[in-house]
Amino acid sequence: MAELTVVGKPVTRVDANEKVTGEAIYGYDLVLPNMLYGKTLFSTKAHARIKRISTEKAKAFPGVVAVVTGADVPWTHGESIKDKPFLAQGKVRFIGEPVAAVAAEDEDIAQAAVKLIEVEYEDLPVYVDPEEACKSGAVAIHEDFPKYRKVDFIVPGAHANIAEHFKLRTGDVAQGFKESDLVLEEKYFVPMIQHAAMEPHSAHAQFDKETGRLTIWVANDAPFRALHEIAEALGMPKEKIRFINPLQGGGFGSKGGLKVEPIAVALAFHTNGRPVRVKFNREETFISTLTRHEAVVYSKTGVKKDGTLMAREMTIYWGAGAYAEKSPTVCIRGSLPAPGPYRIPHVKVDGYAVYTNKPVAGSYRGYGIPQGAWAGEQQMDEIAKRLDMDAVEIRLKNIFVEGDISYWGEQLHAVGLKETLTKATEAIEWGNKPHQIKPGVKNGKGFACIQKPTRSPTTSAAGVMVNTKGDITVLAGTVEIGQGCNTILSQVAAEELKVPMAKVQMHPLDTDVIPYDASTTSSRSTYHMGNAVRRASIHAREQIMEAASPMLEAKTQDLDCVDGKVFLKDQPQMALTLGEVVRRKFGPEGVVRGDGSYTYEIGKDLDLETGHSDHASAFYMYATQAAEVEVDEDSGRIRILRMSAAHDVGKAINPLNCVAQIEGGVVMGIGSALHEEMVIDQTGKVRNPSFLDYHLVTSLDTPELISIIVECAEPEGPYGAKGLGEPGLAPTPAAIGNAVADALGIRIYDLPLKPENVYWAIQNKKKKDAA
């Protein structure tokens, strides 16, 4: 490969300037001409039949233009199970479910009118615990579940509230446990948390009766999928729908799917062509948008005395909340690798996505990996302790290496796990473990390993245009959610067209003109869209070379391209700028456009009975993170002193950006480890829907962060790249849990590790020791 000039370099972000000046326009900032303001009435009941809704008073309120309820919009949507109405129909299934909406001349009027809508409910039993919700006798939260439209791979469970039952069957776990010298069995719990992107949710919509077109402006991380879902729900041709993406103020998985969009769309059909904006405030964002799956994980592991893993059996209840959203795929892709990145001959996993009467769980940075790792990686440490083995040593004995066949039957390649393990543990001086430095404070170290698949198979397509000035415009459907894709994709185009970064710009995201992209999720963009932009850039370059060939009187193979110029390899002074070539060939307004598309084709589909697949993911991300903590024995307070994170990224297209992704992911993970939880009472009410009561990590709480990039090239990836958006978060809680156990000699099974939980664990141990 020729030497890379832009790829692999620490290029600063291309979008930094507009962000530091306040010029960047986010979805929440957008004002449209003649716009109306929408407000939503949310359910106050977690599970109830709607006996009556009356909207007369709201409709009569001066300044109100439209009031809609479920009766006006008889549509349902859902990524893999079509179970969610645009507005509640007949019943409500969680507190915060949109029931009705108002569009008015201003926000105050809309809010006042919402208060005038009367709803009469008849209570039904409320389920807040996923295990309870699928016990026999529990009533169906979705009576019509069997009738819902579903995608092919859905396997409903035995109970009506199990939306998906994932099964993995390898070997014979009973036999494996029999052959083991030690068998451990424990229950772990991960609570519901929220993405808490700093920009709350909003959507704008407009329906033009004359053209029959529906336009939606929304910071959605998967506009093409959202477009598809709306088209399907409404029975509208896709060409009649257009998504325009303003900038997105963070997402972490929360901004895919449909949340505010259906409300804006419902109103837009009743406003006589005027656009309507629906904004959720922070509290509404907390109760009505998406959350991360709470999970109850039962893990049973058998090992030989020498630490060789023999069998692992896991049963995971994924709390889906009131609607399926992404639960089936979180259940599948989170349960599949939950036993961890290890060679295990006998494996059995049952993952259940269970409906409850809580806010809807969706995709969340890490997509099910943190929950499995919280259980599996802590149990690995517990086993090491019982066998009196070093935690690194037991991992080294069992971890996946190049060429291993995974327990789901896939031969693995580009496995950089071992290097991440060695480097992350070395970075915190693993071998050197002082347990007490200050009186009353215990120190400990711990780490965790993960392997993460990406959504497969999927497609990304891109266009690259070169104008007569030699400016490059990239058309790509990857959404800049803060992760830095605009910089990465610009680097790819600059690399392939051999132009300086300043010559490249990204086209705004508009589904009318931008080629298809599956989604900005699952850490898939650098790999998939990187490949697509690379192909499109090469396609454009080839056209330019071909056009330049007669101009320079040379064969294309004798031409080269550097620094925005095409020239003769052996006579570099014979050169034309890219822009000049375009102008001469296509005239003063001419443009060369290259197109490229990349689809990862899955090998065999996941077998629904065994969970086996010979190629379940386009690529796998591998990481190890290690933490050093101190725990105050009197208060139970944990302080993280330093945290290392070694990630196999395949190839770092932009090392600066890699570190940015790692640091952000690690710190988000620290929040979920130490204090984040959505506190939901027995009635299904979220008790802490504000930043005052739901604690995010602040600038006071972050430890020293040591980011380590490991490059084990993925042959199919652009320049060898994999992905990195999610894995920074995934092993963080388990690494901290292991460090706390090391410090205290106490294993804590439930997240978060908030001071009171740690305090009581210490007290209980003291009592036990005394007895």
Partner 1 sequence: MNQKIQFTLNGKSTTMEAPTHRLLLDLLRDEIGLTGTKEGCGTGDCGACTVLMNGKPVNSCLVLSGELEGASIVTIEGLKIGPELDAVQNAFVRDGGAQCGYCTPGMLMMSKALLDENSNPTEDDIRFALSGNLCRCTGYAKIIQAVQDAAAMIRSKNVQ
Which residues sit at the interface with ligand FES, rule CB under 6 A? 198, 250, 482
> Shortest gap between Cβ of 197 and partner 1 (angstroms)?
6
Least distance (Å) between residue 223 CB and partner 1: 17
Looking at the DSSP assignment, which residues form a beta bridge with residue 599?
A: 459
> What would the 3-class secondary structure string for 51-92 be?
EEEECHHHHHCCCEEEEEEHHHCCCEECCCECCEECCCCCEE
Shortest Å distance, C-beta 482 to ligand FES: 5
Residues 6 or more apart in contact with residue 29 via CB below 8 angstroms: 246
CA 256 to chain centre: 9
**What is the Cα–Cα distance from 158 to 134, expressed in whole angstroms?**
9
93 versus 195: smaller Cβ distance to partner 1: 195
Nearest to 421 by CA among 731, 749, 671: 731
Contact 532, 462 (CB under 8 A): yes
Tokens, residue 436: 């007490």
CB closer to partner 1, 356 vs 624: 624
- CB-wise, 76 or 707, nearer to ligand FES? 707
∠ at Cα 751 (731, 134), nearest 5°? 105
Tell me which of partner 1, ligand FES, none is bound by residue 91, counting a contact when its beta carbon lies within the kind-specific cut-off of 5 to 8 angstroms: none
Q: Contacts with partner 1 in 386-425 (CB under 8 A)?
A: none
Site for partner 1 in 337-376 (CB under 8 A): none
Shortest distance, position 200 Cβ to ligand FES, whole Å:
9
Provide the minimum distance between the beta carbon of 282 and ligand FES in the complex, in angstroms, as a whole number. 8
SS3 278: strand
Decide whether 22 or 439 has the Cβ nearer to partner 1.
22
CB of 448 to partner 1, least distance (A): 18
> Angle CA(177)–CA(181)–CA(183) in degrees, nearest 5?
50
CB of 605 to partner 1, least distance (A): 35
658, 649 Cβ separation under 8 angstroms: yes
Asked if 476 touches partner 1 (CB under 8 A), the answer is: no
Instruction: State in angstroms the smallest separation of the CB of 248 from partner 1.
Output: 7
- Binding residue for partner 1 (CB under 8 A) from 223, 370, 376, 484? 484
DSSP 6-47: STTS-PPPTTHHHHHTT---BGGG---TT-EEEEEEEPS-SS
HSE-up of residue 749 (Cα within 13 Å, Cβ side): 12
Window 687-746: residues binding partner 1 (CB under 8 A): 690-692, 696-700, 702, 705
Beta-ladder partners of 49 = 91, 122
The only residue of 483, 486, 519, 521 in contact with partner 1, by rule CB under 8 A? 483
How far is 729 from 735, CA to CA, in rounded Å?
Answer: 11
**501/11 Cα distance (integer angstroms):** 9
Contact region with partner 1 (CB under 8 A), list: 194-202, 222-230, 270-278, 602-610: 194-202
Among partner 1, ligand FES, none, the one that 248 touches (CB under a kind-dependent 5 to 8 A) is partner 1
Nearer to ligand FES, 170 or 285 (CB): 285
Q: Choosing among partner 1, ligand FES, none, which partner's interface includes residue 668 (Cβ < 5 to 8 Å by kind)? A: partner 1
Cβ of residue 249: shortest distance to partner 1, in angstroms? 3
Which of partner 1, ligand FES, none sits in contact with 503, Cβ below 5 to 8 A by type? none
**d(C-alpha 59, C-alpha 270), whole Å:** 12
Cα separation, 393 vs 395, in Å, equals 5
Contact partner, 770, from ligand FES, partner 1, none, Cβ < 5-8 Å per class: none
CA dist., res. 393 & res. 376, Å (int): 16
Binding mask 1-20 for partner 1 (x = CB under 8 A): -----------xx-xxxxxx
Does 679 help bind partner 1 (rule: CB under 8 A)? no
Q: Which is nearer to partner 1, 571 or 690 (CB)?
A: 690
Cβ-Cβ contacts under 8 Å for 532 (sequence gap 6 or more): 460, 461, 462, 476, 515, 517, 596, 597, 598
CB of 696 to partner 1, least distance (A): 5
CA distances from 280 to 100, 101, 260, 684, 743 (A): 14, 12, 8, 20, 43
When binding is defined by CB under 8 A, the residue of 79, 164, 199, 313 that contacts partner 1 is 199
Partner whose binding site includes residue 702, from ligand FES, partner 1, none (CB under 5 to 8 Å by kind): partner 1
Q: Which of 666, 673, 686, 739 binds partner 1 (CB under 8 A)?
A: 666
Q: Decide if residue 676 touches partner 1 (CB under 8 A).
A: no
Is there binding between residue 252 and partner 1 (CB under 8 A)? yes
Span interacting with partner 1, options 135-143, 347-355, 449-457, 479-487, rule CB under 8 A: 479-487
Q: Which stretch binds partner 1 (CB under 8 A): 24-32, 152-160, 456-464, 489-497?
A: 24-32
For position 655 contacting partner 1 by CB under 8 A, the verdict is no
For every residue of 190-216, which 3-state class applies, written as one string? ECCECCCCCCCCEEEEEEECCCCEEEE
| 663 touches partner 1 (CB under 8 A) | yes
Residue 656 found at the interface with partner 1 (CB under 8 A): yes
- Binding at 22: pick from ligand FES, partner 1, none (beta carbon under 5-8 Å per type): partner 1
The three-class DSSP label of residue 404 is coil
**Does the footprint of partner 1 cover residue 38 (CB under 8 A)?**
no
Please say which residue, 28 or 166, places its beta carbon nearer to partner 1: 28
DSSP collapsed to 3 states, 564-620:
CEEEECCEEEEEEEHHHHHHHHHCCCCEEEEEEEEECCCCCCCCCCCCCCCCCCCCE
**Residue holding tokens 């006071």?**
700
> d(Cα 387, Cα 549) in Å, to the nearest integer?
70
Site residues (vs partner 1, CB under 8 A): 12-13, 15-26, 28-29, 31, 195-200, 247-252, 281-282, 481-484, 656-657, 660, 663-668, 690-692, 696-700, 702, 705
